[in-house]
Amino acid sequence: MCISKVMVVGAGIMGSGIAQTCIEHGLNTLLVDISKEYAEKGAGNIAHFLQRKVEKGKITQEDREAALKLLQTSGSYEDGKDADVVVEAATENMDIKLKIFAQLDDIVNEDAILCTNTSGMSITKIASAAKRPERVVGTHFFMPVPAMRLVEIIPGILTSDLSEKKAFEFGQKIGKTTVKAPDTAGFLVNRIFEPMRNEAIYLVMEGNRPEDVDQAMKLGCNWPMGPLELADYTGLDTLLASMTKIYEELGDPKYRPCPLLKKMVNAGMLGKKSGRGFYQY
């Protein structure tokens, strides 16, 4: 597939990271948000992160300038109607995503693929808003996007083989390793990773010390951070929402959110952001 233009919809943390990765790989990229000002804020963050890369000696000043020349911003999807790839990274809300995909499908060039970076909603459902659901595909990036190497490629039930292939090609073109994942809650990585962190919380509920659980996983499995440190860092409310979704969708008791996790969230112990979780901050 020839990709001469990418449109990224949503200029928050993920959208900016995706746009940064695209321009660093030589792709003309339009960053769109609900207003041009919002999109420009995202572009400002990209300029800042690229400057930090220059200061760390990871790229040259010329590389930074060349990348930034490929970036444009807008408050209108119309400006991206000639894009070959669209990546939607707007707020995680089904109504918002359905509206966006209905509009994108009408506006954007028929041959383009429409990707969604949802972290857990059904790709099939999001695609249902488009008249051509066969061109909608999940591309799940990880935080921080420029540094994380994986993109999960998630076809919905109506995604065509060609769209799936194009999504793989796009991921590879921007330097990522791509893996096919199922269109079920948690996709692939979180389906494994969230229950592991949930299990670590069961161990605490059974009387084990958080420090011991974390130390064991760091030294025994070579994890850079322990599962409970990481749960505190992500936010326990986010972990609970994710586990609840996996449990409800797959209906298997092995995904039951740990009662201690629920209690801590009810108590407002959300981890780092609230000052207290498994550790004090």
Ligand X SMILES: NC(=O)c1ccc[n+]([C@@H]2O[C@H](COP(=O)([O-])OP(=O)(O)OC[C@H]3O[C@@H](n4cnc5c(N)ncnc54)[C@H](O)[C@@H]3O)[C@@H](O)[C@H]2O)c1
Of 3, 5, 15, 20, the one binding ligand X by CB under 6 A: 15
Minimum CB distance to ligand X, residue 263 (Å): 25
Minimum CB distance to ligand X, residue 90 (Å): 4
Query: Is 48 annotated as catalytic?
Result: no
Query: Is 222 annotated as catalytic?
Result: no
Of 7, 21, 27, 38, the one binding ligand X by CB under 6 A: 38
Q: Where are the alpha helices (DSSP H) in the chain?
A: 13-24, 36-55, 61-69, 94-107, 123-127, 161-173, 189-205, 210-221, 227-234, 236-250, 259-266
Minimum CB distance to ligand X, residue 97 (Å): 7
**Is position 9 an interface residue for ligand X (rule: CB under 6 A)?**
yes
Indicate which residue of 16, 190, 198, 242 is catalytic: 190
For residue 244, report the phi and psi dihedrals to the nearest 5 degrees: -60, -40
Let me know the angle formed at the C-alpha of 180 by 175 and 185, rounded to the nearest 5 degrees. Answer: 120
**Is position 63 an interface residue for ligand X (rule: CB under 6 A)?**
no
**DSSP symbol at 176:** -
Query: Is 242 annotated as catalytic?
Result: no
Query: Is 119 annotated as catalytic?
Result: yes
How many helices (H) and strands (E) the chain has is answered by 11, 8
Indicate which residue of 24, 88, 152, 194 is catalytic: 152
Query: Following CA atoms 258, 217, 185, 123 in sequence, which dihedral angle do they give, to the nearest 10 degrees?
Result: 150
Task: Return d(Cα 2, Cα 9) in angstroms, integer.
Answer: 20
**Is position 96 an interface residue for ligand X (rule: CB under 6 A)?**
yes
The binding track of 104-133 with respect to ligand X, each residue x by CB under 6 A or -, is -------------xxx--------------
User: Which residues lie near ligand X (CB under 6 A)?
Assistant: 9-15, 32-34, 38, 89-92, 96, 100, 117-119, 141, 143
Q: What are the catalytic residues?
A: 119, 140, 152, 190
